[in-house]
C-alpha cells in the first residue's frame, strides 16, 4: 500500500493514523470508565456518536466533492480520512483552552450542557477540515493549510463570543442546557460557513486567504448575532420561564439553518 504514496505522504499517513487511533481509543475508554458515579443513562451518547458522525461527514464530502484522484482512489480516501480524524483529535485537545473540557465538564461532573456544546464543537471542527478537501489541489499540505485557516478562525470567533457574553460559564458553571444547545448550533453554523469559505480549487496561499476573507463574512455576522442573543439570555434554571431565545433549540436551529443557507447561496 505504501508504494502508492510519496515519502512525505507515507510519513503523514503513518503519523495521522497513530495519532487518530491513540486519541480516539483513549476517548472511548474515558467515556466508558471515567466518572461512573455521575453518569446517567444516555448522558454521554452525544460524545460517543460525534466522532463517528464526523467521520461519516468527511467520507461523504471526500466521495462527492474532493479532487478526482482522491474520490476515485480508496487509498487516498483512507489517507484523508486518517488525516481528518487526527485533525479532529488535535482540535478536540485545544477546546479546554477555550473553556470546554469533555473530561472535566462531562465525564467528571456530569454536565449535559457541556456534552451538547462539545458535540457541536467537534462537528464544526470537522466541517472546517472537510471544506479544505473540496476541489483540486497539489497535495495534502493545501488541505492542511485550508483546514488550519478555517479551524483557527472558528476558535477565534468562539473566543470572541465567550469573552463578550461569558457563554462558556453558562455552559460549564451554570449547567444551562439551553446555552449548551446554542453553543452547539453556533459551532456547527460557523464551521459550515468557514468550511465553505476555504473550499475550491487551489491556486496559491494568497488567493486562498483572499477568497476566504471575501466569503467568510457571514461568520462575522453570526458571531455578532450570537453575542447579542447571549446578552439577552440569562442562565435557565428549572424555575425559569423559557423564551424562544432562551429555549436553546430555536436559536441553535436558526444558526445551523443560516450556515446551510450560506453554503447553498455561495
Tens-place pLDDT, residues 116-128: 999 999 999 999 9
Alpha helices for 34-73 (secondary structure H): 45-65, 68-71
pLDDT at 233: 79
Of the ranges 34-38, 98-102, 174-178, 233-237, which is most confident? 98-102
Of the listed ranges 71-75, 107-111, 146-150, the least confidently predicted one is 107-111
| List of residues 6+ apart from 7 with CB closer than 8 A | none
pLDDT at 266: 72
* pTM as predicted: 0.93
pLDDT at 241: 43
Tens-place pLDDT, residues 12-23: 999 999 999 999
| List of residues 6+ apart from 259 with CB closer than 8 A | 188, 189, 190, 191, 192, 193, 222
The percent helix, strand, coil of the chain (3-state, each to 5) is 80, 0, 20
If you ran DSSP here, which 8-state letter would residue 133 be given? T
Domain ranges of the chain: 2-265
- CA pair distance 203, 214, nearest whole angstrom: 16
Amino acid at each position: 500500500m505504501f508504494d502508492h504514496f510519496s515519502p512525505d505522504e507515507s510519513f503523514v499517513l503513518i503519523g495521522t493514523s497513530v495519532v487518530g487511533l491513540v486519541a480516539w481509543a483513549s476517548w472511548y475508554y474515558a467515556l466508558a470508565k471515567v466518572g461512573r458515579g455521575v453518569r446517567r443513562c444516555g448522558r454521554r451518547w452525544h460524545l460517543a456518536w460525534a466522532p463517528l458522525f464526523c467521520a461519516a461527514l468527511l467520507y461523504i464530502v471526500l466521495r462527492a466533492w474532493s479532487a478526482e484522484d482522491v474520490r476515485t482512489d480508496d487509498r487516498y480516501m483512507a489517507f484523508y480520512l486518517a488525516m481528518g480524524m487526527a485533525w479532529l483529535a488535535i482540535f478536540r485537545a485545544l477546546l479546554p483552552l477555550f473553556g470546554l473540557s469533555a473530561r472535566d465538564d462531562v465525564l467528571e461532573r456530569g454536565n449535559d450542557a457541556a456534552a451538547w456544546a462539545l458535540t457541536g464543537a467537534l462537528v464544526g471542527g470537522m466541517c472546517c477540515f472537510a471544506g479544505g478537501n473540496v476541489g483540486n489541489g497539489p497535495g495534502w499540505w493545501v488541505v492542511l493549510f485550508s483546514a488550519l485557516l478555517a479551524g483557527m478562525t472558528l476558535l477565534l470567533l468562539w473566543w470572541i463570543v465567550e469573552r463578550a457574553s461569558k457563554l462558556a460559564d453558562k455552559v460549564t458553571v451554570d449547567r444551562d442546557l439551553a446555552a449548551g444547545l446554542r453553543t452547539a448550533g453556533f459551532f456547527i453554523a460557523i464551521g459550515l460557513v468557514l468550511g465553505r469559505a476555504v473550499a475550491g480549487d487551489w491556486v496559491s496561499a494568497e488567493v486562498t486567504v483572499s477568497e476566504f476573507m471575501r466569503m467568510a463574512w457571514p461568520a462575522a455576522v453570526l458571531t455578532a448575532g450570537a453575542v447579542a442573543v447571549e446578552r439577552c439570555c440569562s442562565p435557565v434554571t428549572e424555575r425559569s420561564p423559557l423564551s424562544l431565545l432562551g429555549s436553546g433549540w430555536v436559536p441553535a436551529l436558526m444558526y445551523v439553518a443560516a450556515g446551510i443557507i450560506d453554503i447553498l447561496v455561495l
